[in-house]
Amino acid sequence: MNALLICPAERPATRFLAQTTPFAALHAFAKPLVIYWLEHLAALGAKCVLILATDRPEQIRALVGDGARWGLHVEVLAESRELSPDEARDKYCGGASRCLPAPDDISVMDHFPGLPGHPLFKSYANWFDGLRALMPRVTAAGQNDVREIKPGIWVSARARVSPGAELRAPCWIGPHTVVAADTVIGPMAVIEDRVMVEPGVEIANSSVAPETFVGRLAELKNSVADGSILINWRSASCTRVPDAFLLCSLAKRRHTVKSSNLFARALALLVMILTLPLAALSIIWAKLLGQPAFRPLVAVRPYHSTEPGTMATLVFHELSCGARCLRFWPQLWNIFGGDFAWVGNRPLSPAQVADLSNDFERLWLAAPIGLFSLAQAEGAIDALETRACASLYALQANWRLDLSIIARAFVITTKRSITALF
């Protein structure tokens, strides 16, 4: 048995769904649409499948490869426009391609296999209706290590969901997704893989595409969120959210770890000299208590990608006594030496790095080690919030954000130190 698949090209009514990926590569329950079709054809006994792609065929080719993992031979051919089934039959049946589809095995991938009554791309409401129709089949199959932890609540074993999150049936949470405390997920929420959801978020009657960051206190209802794109499927309205702290993409980028410039190093040395009397008091106090003045710590140097590799480390110090903000005083020397920056992510020990379980958590190491961090500025109080802030900073770092972090983190740290003293 041979088959031919036609990838949907232009669909004006749902064009914003295909801003970052072709329609045939859209994810549903952690799996692209084209993969559902290949699995379906393999189960029917197909041997060769020809895929005709107009929109970004290289992405389709990267997804399916040669089809060997499904026991298929797959070819992806680029077309200048979307062919109708009749045009595809005339052009390819009995043609020169190694895949020779039978005339009755030509399908346009504008619906999920077995669900022709649920077209996906006539409207945004149709897309969400298709997800709703597919959910019972996906949950019955139990794919991607997703298990039913409560009636109607499906969570991947590779997801990290805070015990303080409220999950309302039906909802589905994919692998490598992080859901913080004080969130409400559901009813009818589909959270795809590699999503980060911060505290205070509510998501209902909505889907969140892979690699999307949903910021603190955001509310998604009757929506489709894909990176910074937010679509209301009920009203068919669409907007691009400019505030990365509310909604943004966590898609992989090439990361270059910045180092401190000459001015930043000189400023660190100046601040170190000006605050030396306060540091001296802390050192004297430690000696009176019979404690060492400095506490040595080990940090993993930043990676230049999200892939873990051989860890290079450095030793840095903090004062063992004194106010919290003063304990970082020795790290001004690390800024002067170029190992730290004024703003970045706080240092992690090798043991803490080993606890980073996926690419998005390892984004922590794609930013420089900093004296001040976004997590401090946001007042993050648990590991999930801290890791989300670290990943977001690695993706969104710029000089305006750095200045904002320094101002907010300095105020918060100073207040905490004064509170501790009194």
Concatenating the DSSP letter of every residue in 101-118 gives --TT-EEESSS-TT-TTS
Quick check: is 43 in a domain? yes
CB 318 within 8 A of CB 295: yes
Cα 415 to Cα 279, 329, 402, 411: the distances in Å are 19, 17, 20, 6
Residue 11, pLDDT score: 94
Do residues 321 and 183 both lie within one domain?
Answer: no
Of 183, 216, 249, the residue at which a domain comes to its end is: 249
CB proximity list for 409: less than 8 A, separation 6 or greater: 372, 373, 376, 377
Residues 404 and 377: their CA atoms lie apart, in Å, by 8
Parent domain of 309:
262-421
Do residues 268 and 391 both lie within one domain?
Answer: yes
Quick check: is 85 in a domain? yes
Do residues 108 and 16 both lie within one domain?
Answer: yes
Instruction: Note the pTM of the prediction, 2 decimals.
Output: 0.69
Quick check: is 130 in a domain? no
Residues 380 and 76: their CA atoms lie apart, in Å, by 47
Do residues 286 and 241 both lie within one domain?
Answer: no
Q: Give the domain CATH number at 27.
A: 3.90.550.10
Do residues 196 and 94 both lie within one domain?
Answer: no
Low-confidence ranges of the chain (pLDDT < 50): 96, 98, 103, 253-256, 305-310, 421
Q: pLDDT of 373-413, one tens digit each?
A: 999 888 887 888 888 889 888 888 888 899 999 988 878 76
User: How confident is the prediction for the chain on average, in pLDDT?
Assistant: 88
Strand partners of residue 219: 202
Residue 255, pLDDT score: 45
Q: pLDDT of 281-336, one tens digit each?
A: 999 998 898 888 998 898 988 865 444 444 678 889 999 887 777 889 999 999 99
Residue 411, pLDDT score: 81
Quick check: is 132 in a domain? no
Residues 85 and 71: their CA atoms lie apart, in Å, by 25
Quick check: is 257 in a domain? no
Strand partners of residue 316: 297
Do residues 281 and 394 both lie within one domain?
Answer: yes
Do residues 383 and 278 both lie within one domain?
Answer: yes
**Residue 52, CA atoms < 13 Å, CB-side half-sphere:** 26
Residue 249, pLDDT score: 86
Residues 404 and 167: their CA atoms lie apart, in Å, by 34
Domain count, the chain: 3
Residue 309, pLDDT score: 46
Do residues 325 and 381 both lie within one domain?
Answer: yes
Quick check: is 138 in a domain? no
Do residues 244 and 266 both lie within one domain?
Answer: no
Q: Give the domain CATH number at 180.
A: 2.160.10
Quick check: is 139 in a domain? no
Of 198, 214, 249, the residue at which a domain comes to its end is: 249
Do residues 193 and 149 both lie within one domain?
Answer: yes
Do residues 271 and 239 both lie within one domain?
Answer: no
Of 196, 215, 249, the residue at which a domain comes to its end is: 249
As a residue count, the chain comes to 422
Quick check: is 129 in a domain? no
Do residues 183 and 242 both lie within one domain?
Answer: yes
